A and B are shown apart, each in its own frame.
Chain A
Amino acid sequence: MTHLLRSTALLALLAGPALAQQADTPTPPAAPESAAPETDAPETPPPGATATEGGETPAEVEEPESSEDTASQDDSEPEPNAETAVVEVPAARPSSDAKVPSPGTGWPSFHGQVSGAKYSPLTQITPENVGDMELAWRVETGDVSDGSGDLPATVWSATPIYANDMLYIGTPFYRVLALDPATGEEIWSYDTQSTLEALTQPALKNRGVAYWEAANPTEGEACQKIVYLGTMDARLFAMDADTGALCEDFADGGVLDVNQWNTVNDRWPLSLLQPPTIVGDHVIIGWAGNDWDWAEAPPGSVFSVNAQTGELEWTFDTIPEEIREKTGTANVWTAMSADEERGIVYLPVASPSPNYWGGNRTEDIPYATSTTALDVDTGEVIWSRQWVHHDIWDYDINSAPTLMDITVNGQEIPALMQATKMGFLFVVNRETGEDIWPIEERPVPAGTIESERYAPTQPFPTTPAPLLDQSKMPDVWNIADIASFGECSDLWSKLIYDGMYTAPTTEGEGAGAYPNSAGVVQWGGVGYDPENQIAVVNLSHVVQYIQLYEREEYDEINGEAGVGESGFHPQTGAPYGMSLKTAMNRWGMPCWEPPFGEIMAIDMTTGEPLWRKPFGMSQRYGFYMPEAWGSPTIGGPAITAGGLIFIGATMDGMVRAYDLKSGEELWSDLTEAPSVSNPAIYEHDGAEYVAFVSGGNSILKPSVGDMVSVYRLPR
C-alpha cells in the first residue's frame, strides 16, 4: 500500500480533521513555565462525579430519565417525543451588563449569532434576483503560503465579522484587518508579530476574530468595543475596534498569555486558532492542540475571562483530575454557541488523547466527545450529553451546536441540534439536554486489543435520520477499481468493518473508518432558518482506514515522528502507533462510490428531509468531475430571510447560492481556493452583502488562498 501513502493529495482529501486540526509533529516546543491558574471561580464538580459507575457503561452526565426510557426502545419507530422536552425550565435571567450585538443586520460573531444559526434576517437578495448578484469588491490579504518556502502552508477558515460599521478579519499570519464593508479599503490593521511556526498544527491556521462591545459604553474611553485575535502560540490580543490599538487594560497591556494556564503535560502551547466565544462580558476560550502524536496531552480546559480586563473568571476541566496526568485534550477547538437569555454556553468537546487507543484512559471521561452546557457566569455544568462513549475514533464534536426553537406536535421547544463527525444530528432540549426525538443506546462491537476498554453501546439518534448509512461501507467504485486493476476491491476485502464503531485494530489492512475522522459534518456546522424552521447541512462521504501497529513494529516502519501526509502518528506513550489512510487507488481516485458530498435541508418540525442533492464538483489536477458525484466539503452555510443559502465549502473553489425551499442552485462564482469557512451576510449603507473567504484546506486539495470576495446586487 505504499503507493497509497505516496499519493499526495486528491483529497489528501482526507487526511482527517486531525491532519487539518492536529497532525504533523515537528518536535513540539517546550511550553513556557507557567504559574498556577489564578481563579476565584467556583469549583466545578469533579467531572466523573455524576458519571455512571463501572466504567463499562455509557457515561452520560445527569442523564435524564427519558433518555433511559428511550434507550430501551431499540426497535420502536422513531416518534417525536415532545413530552420529554417539556420539563422544568430554569428561570430566564436578565441579560448581563454588556451584550454581544444581536443578529440584526450585522454579522457580529463567527456564526453570525452566538446561537450558531448562521442566519441573517436580511431580505434584499432573493431567489428571484440573486442571479444578478455581482462582485462588490475583492481583496487579497497577502498572508498566504503554500508551504514551499520558509513558511508552513496556511489554512484560512475565517468568517469575517461585521460590526461597528467595519468588517474585521483575522489572517493566518495572525494579523487583524479592519476593512470598509462597501469597498474593502483597509481602515486599520494590526500585526501581532506572532511566530509563524506550525507549533501544534501542520499549517498556520486561523478562523478569524471575535467582537465585543459594552452595553453602556463610557464616552470618550477607548476599548468600549474590542476585537480579539488568538495565535498559534496561545496569546489572545485585544484591540480597540475603532483604531486597532491594543487595549492596555486587558491582561498584560492588551495581550493575554493563555499558556500560563497550561500546567499539565505541557508539551505544546494551547493554540488559539478559533476565535473565542463572546457571551455577555465573558470571553470564553477553547484551544487546539496535537493529540495524534502523544498519549499524554494538556487537559482540555476551557477558560472564561473578563472581556475588558482579561481576568480569569472560571475554568472548566473536561478531564477528571485523577487521570489528568496520563491522558489529555478532550478540548474545545471549534466554535461554541450560547443561549444568552438563559445564560448558558454550550461546549462541543473533542475526544481525549491519544485518538485511536484508550487503554490509558479506561476510566469514564464523561465530558469527552460531548455537548456540555455550562452556566456562563460560573462555569458550572447544567447538563452534558456524551455522544461517543470511550472515543477511540477521533470523533471530536467539531462544530458549534445550533440553537433553535422548534415546533413539534404543536409544542414549542427550545432545542439544540448537535451535528457530528459520525453523520448524526442529535436534537435535545437545550435547557435540560433531554431528547426531543429519541436517542437510543445500541450495542456496538468490541475490538481485540487486550489493553483496551470498549464501550458496549453508543448513542444513536432516531430523528433526523443519520446523514448516511453507517452500518456498511459504501460499495467499491467500479471505475476506480477497474482503473487500478482491482486494487480497491482488494483493499475492501482486507478491511475489517462491522459498522461505524468498528474498533481500530492491528489486523488486516486495519479497520474501515466510515464515517471518516475528518467528519461527515465539519466545523461549519448546521444553519437554521427560524422563520421556516428549516435546518441546512452539508456533508461528506469519505472512507478511511485505521491501523494500529505495536510499538516495536511502528518504530521500525516510521521511527519517532509522525509524517502528516502519510497519516502515520506515533501516539507516543501508548503501546501502539497508528496510521490513518484514505481509501484511494494508485491514481488517487477514491475507492468508494460517489457522491462524495451533499447538501440537504431538513424540516425541523418533523425531522424529515426537505431536499437533498450532490454538492459541488470534485477536482484533481484541475479536472472537474461530474456534478452528480459531488465534492467532499469543508465549511458551512449561511441562510437569509430572503430564502437563500450561501455556501462555499467544495473542492472546486466555487461559491454558490441555493433556493432554501427547493435546493435549486441559483448563482455561483469562482474564487481562488475552496471557501472553507461559512460566509458572512451583512447590511451596510442600505445594501446587503455576502462575504466569502477563500483560504483553502489541504484536506480538500493543495490550493491555498488569501482572498476575500464580497458580493451584492447591482446598485
Chain B
Amino acid sequence: MPYRTGLTVIMVSALVAIGCGLYAYFVPLTGVTGVWGPLAAAFGALCLLIGGALMVKARSRGARVILMLLLAIGIVLTAFAAFLMHQWVMLAALGVCALGWIAALSGPEEGAYA
C-alpha cells in the first residue's frame, strides 16, 4: 500500500509543481514571468508525472529500478530549479514528491502484478 500511495503522492505533487511552473511563467510579478526557466521546471515536473504513471504500469523490477533512479534525478533537478527561481510553493511540492518517492521505495506487494 505505501508503494501505491507513494506513487500517488509523486503524481499529485508533480501536478501541483506543473501548475506552479505555469503560474510563474504566465502571471505577472512572479519574478520569472515570461522566461523559460519556469517552463523548464514545469517540464521537469511533467516528466515526474509521467514517470509516476509509468511506475504504476511497470512490471519488471529492472524497469522500476531505472524509473526510480530517473525520478530521483528529476526531483532533485526540478527542485534545484525551483530553488534558484525562488518558487517556494513549487519547491515545497517537490519536497512532498520526494516523500512520495521514499514511500515508493517499499516496492509493490508480493504478487501485485501476478
For A613-629 the 0/1 string (1 means CB < 8 A from B) is: 00000000111110000
Name the segment of B6-14, B55-63, B81-89 touching the other chain. B81-89
Collect the chain B residues with CB atoms within 8 Å of residue A652's CB: 31
Collect the chain A residues with CB atoms within 8 Å of residue B34's CB: 703
**In the complex, A670 has a CB within 8 A of chain B:** yes
Contact of B84 among A624, A653, A671 (CB under 8 A): A624
- A623 vs B31: C-alpha distance in the bound complex, in angstroms? 9
Whether A672 and B86, one on each chain, are in contact in the complex, defined by CB atoms closer than 8 angstroms, is no
Name the segment of B35-43, B92-100, B103-111 touching the other chain. B35-43
Contact of A671 among B29, B40, B81 (CB under 8 A): B29
- A311 vs B35: C-alpha distance in the bound complex, in angstroms? 49
**In the complex, B32 has a CB within 8 A of chain A:** yes
Q: A623-B85, A624-B86 given as contacts; is B37 within 8 A of A672 (CB)?
A: no
Collect the chain B residues with CB atoms within 8 Å of residue A625's CB: 84
Shortest C-beta distance, A87 to chain B (Å), equals 52
Residue among A623, A624, A625 with max Cβ neighbours from chain B (10 Å): A623
Whether A623 and B81, one on each chain, are in contact in the complex, defined by CB atoms closer than 8 angstroms, is yes
Whether A672 and B84, one on each chain, are in contact in the complex, defined by CB atoms closer than 8 angstroms, is no
Collect the chain A residues with CB atoms within 8 Å of residue B40's CB: 621
- A653 vs B38: C-alpha distance in the bound complex, in angstroms? 16
How many chain B residues touch A (Cβ–Cβ < 8 Å)? 16
Main secondary structure of the interface of A (DSSP, over half): loop
For B15-31 the 0/1 string (1 means CB < 8 A from A) is: 00000000010001101
Main secondary structure of the interface of B (DSSP, over half): loop
By size class, the interface of chain A is: 10 to 19
Shortest C-beta distance, A628 to chain B (Å), equals 14
- A670 vs B34: C-alpha distance in the bound complex, in angstroms? 15
Contact of A623 among B28, B29, B33, B84 (CB under 8 A): B84
- A504 vs B37: C-alpha distance in the bound complex, in angstroms? 37
Shortest C-beta distance, B79 to chain A (Å), equals 13
- A461 vs B111: C-alpha distance in the bound complex, in angstroms? 82
- B87 and chain A: residue at smallest CB distance: A622
Whether B28 and A672, one on each chain, are in contact in the complex, defined by CB atoms closer than 8 angstroms, is yes
Collect the chain A residues with CB atoms within 8 Å of residue B84's CB: 623-625
Whether B35 and A621, one on each chain, are in contact in the complex, defined by CB atoms closer than 8 angstroms, is yes
Whether B35 and A653, one on each chain, are in contact in the complex, defined by CB atoms closer than 8 angstroms, is no
- A703 vs B40: C-alpha distance in the bound complex, in angstroms? 18
Whether A622 and B38, one on each chain, are in contact in the complex, defined by CB atoms closer than 8 angstroms, is yes
Shortest C-beta distance, A625 to chain B (Å), equals 8
- A140 and chain B: residue at smallest CB distance: B28
Q: A672-B33, A703-B34 given as contacts; is B85 within 8 A of A622 (CB)?
A: yes
Collect the chain A residues with CB atoms within 8 Å of residue B38's CB: 622
- A670 vs B35: C-alpha distance in the bound complex, in angstroms? 16
- A138 and chain B: residue at smallest CB distance: B29
Collect the chain B residues with CB atoms within 8 Å of residue A624's CB: 31, 84-86
Shortest C-beta distance, A13 to chain B (Å), equals 15
Whether B37 and A653, one on each chain, are in contact in the complex, defined by CB atoms closer than 8 angstroms, is no
Collect the chain B residues with CB atoms within 8 Å of residue A703's CB: 34-35
Identify which of residues 493-536 in chain A touch chain B, using a CB-to-CB cut-off of 8 Å. Answer: none
Whether A622 and B32, one on each chain, are in contact in the complex, defined by CB atoms closer than 8 angstroms, is yes
Collect the chain B residues with CB atoms within 8 Å of residue A672's CB: 28-29, 33
- A622 vs B31: C-alpha distance in the bound complex, in angstroms? 7
- A670 vs B33: C-alpha distance in the bound complex, in angstroms? 12
Collect the chain A residues with CB atoms within 8 Å of residue B32's CB: 622
- A670 vs B28: C-alpha distance in the bound complex, in angstroms? 10
26 A-B pairs within 8 Å (CB atoms) are namely: A621-B35, A621-B36, A621-B37, A621-B40, A622-B24, A622-B31, A622-B35, A622-B38, A622-B85, A623-B37, A623-B81, A623-B84, A623-B85, A624-B31, A624-B84, A624-B85, A624-B86, A625-B84, A653-B31, A670-B29, A670-B31, A671-B29, A672-B29, A672-B33, A703-B34, A703-B35
With contacts A623-B84, A670-B31 known, what are 6 further pairs, Cβ within 8 A?
Answer: A622-B24, A622-B36, A625-B84, A653-B31, A670-B29, A703-B34
Smallest CB-CB A-B distances: 6 pairs: A622-B37, A622-B32, A623-B84, A622-B35, A621-B37, A622-B85
